[in-house]
Amino acid sequence: LSRTLHNLKDIGHLRVKIFKAQGLAAADIGGKSDPFCVLELINARLQTQTEYKTLSPTWNKIFSFNVKDIHSILEVTVYDEDRDHKVEFLGKVAIPLLKIKNGEKKWYALKDKKLRARAKGNNPEILLECSVEWNPIRAAIRTFTPKEEKYMQMEQKFKRQVFITNVNRLKACIMDVYEMGMFVKSCFEWEYPVRSTIAFIVFMVGTYCFEPYMIPIILLILYLRNYIILSIVGTMMHREEDNDYSADEDEADDDDKDKEEKKTLKERLQVIQEVTATVQNAIGFIASICESCKNTFNFSVPFLSWLLILVLLVGIVILYYIPIRYLVMLWGVNKFSRKLIRPHSVINNEILDFLSRVPDDEILRDCRELRPVPQSHDEKRREHRKKKMN
């Protein structure tokens, strides 16, 4: 901590021990696989050796990563190596760095490509031990800077089911705002006289006594409400309805296109597809921002929630002692002088940079751990015999 401000980009380091996997799917004709493991942390990528002709590989490898963003997600993917140097997917697990418990040796259930269901095989699992050491002050500063983009990812094309999923996500967020608007409308319409009277008194007193420093206080009250619910219930309720889409359905949609259609019609379809893909991705982005805002106050990532609470507390003090006009002037000077002082700096919005670190509902589902499958009575007896023999 004494050298915190020396290198702000060096947040910490991650160490991953990969021991073994079991229950993998058979990818070869002989009922075996040639599995190897790939570890990815944003743009850093490492790989284990290949274990041939086995469904229960043992790698026993240790890998280290430099952590540039504590909000990154470690992706561990198991592939099958073919003779023609092609690979076949066997399973994957996504682990947020902030959820890692140092030194804990744990079995992780492998998921499918969409990270929604268990991968094919006999309840495939992988045994990992992760440890992450990081500087909380550097991580807090890094949270308000632009997020590093992942380069090794496929360009998203238009898919009907993705489009429907994003529309439903946005609809859910809009419905929350709509219900709030209906509540306000009911107060204005005096549908319930007692509630409308209380709302009127609160509005008049609040408007008369309002000061800018009260805005962070209102947000802190919302934090307090959710924190009390979290303490009582144990977890915040998320929408767990999986709106999974099938790749087979998308392929069927592509097959329906007539290969012998005219060139002009193809060009029109291409333009329509590009526009629709833009709308799809825009809706997905808006839905992601809305879900990230909601999850910020739900303590989905406690580090980010407590960080924002600290920022709000500092904001209360600043807004209480410093007039808002001076803060706006300071903000304007910063924005106008940015290009002069830092010509190569990236234009950014600190609020969006912060929200980009908060996982949306899709990422939370991706990182949700599957429940371990209980061992059968026969398996327990076999393990007991092995222990006796040893």
pLDDT confidence of residue 249: 46
In the beta sheet, which residues pair with residue 79?
36, 89
Structure tokens at 260: 């012998």
pLDDT per residue as tens digits for the range 258-303: 444 555 777 777 777 777 777 888 888 888 999 999 998 988 888 9
What percent of the chain has pLDDT above 90?
31
pLDDT at 172 over 70: yes
Give 265 or 28, the one with higher predicted confidence. 28
| Cα–Cα–Cα angle for 242, 245, 246, rounded to 5 degrees | 135
Give the domain ranges of the chain.
12-143, 160-253+260-366
What is residue 330's three-state secondary structure? helix
DSSP state of 118: B
3-state secondary structure of 49: coil
Three-state DSSP state, 87: strand
DSSP 149-198: PPSSSPPPPP-HHHHHHHHHHHHHHHHHHHHHHHHHHHHHTTSSHHHHHH
Cβ-proximal residues to 150 (8 Å cutoff; 6+ apart), any chain: 42, 43
Long-range contacts of 317-326 (CB under 8 A, 24+ apart): 317/213, 319/211, 319/212, 319/213, 319/215, 319/216, 320/211, 320/213, 324/212
Give which of 49, 55, 51, 48 is closest to 25, Cα–Cα: 55
35 has pLDDT over 90: yes
> Residue 339: which residues within 8 A CB-CB, separation 6 or more?
345
Q: How far is CA 276 from CA 160, 266, 287, in A?
A: 10, 15, 16
Closest C-alpha among 46, 24, 42 to residue 34: 24
Strand-pairing partners, residue 127, are 20, 107
First-last CA distance in the chain = 47
Q: pLDDT per residue over 57-79, tens digit each?
A: 999 999 999 999 999 999 999 99
Contacts 24+ apart (CB under 8 A), 381-385: none
On average, the pLDDT of the chain sits at 83
* 8, two tokens: 């702000």
Q: Average pLDDT in the 195-218 region?
A: 85
The model carries a pTM of 0.72
The pLDDT confidence band at residue 7, using thresholds 50, 70 and 90, is confident
Indicate the burial class of 84 (C-beta count within 10 angstroms; 0-12, 13-18, 19 or more). Answer: exposed
Residue 47 · residue 68 · CB < 8 Å: no
Average the pLDDT over 331-347 and give the result: 74
What gap in Å lies between CA 387 and CA 291, rounded to an integer?
A: 49
Kindly tell me the burial class for residue 349, based on how many C-beta atoms sit within 10 Å of its own C-beta (0-12, 13-18, 19 or more). exposed
What is d(CA 304, CA 149) in angstroms, rounded to the nearest whole number? 20
12-143 in CATH: which number? Answer: 2.60.40.150
**Pseudo-torsion of CA 101, 104, 107, 109, nearest 10°?**
10
Q: How far is CA 182 from CA 76, 193, 288, in A?
A: 45, 16, 24
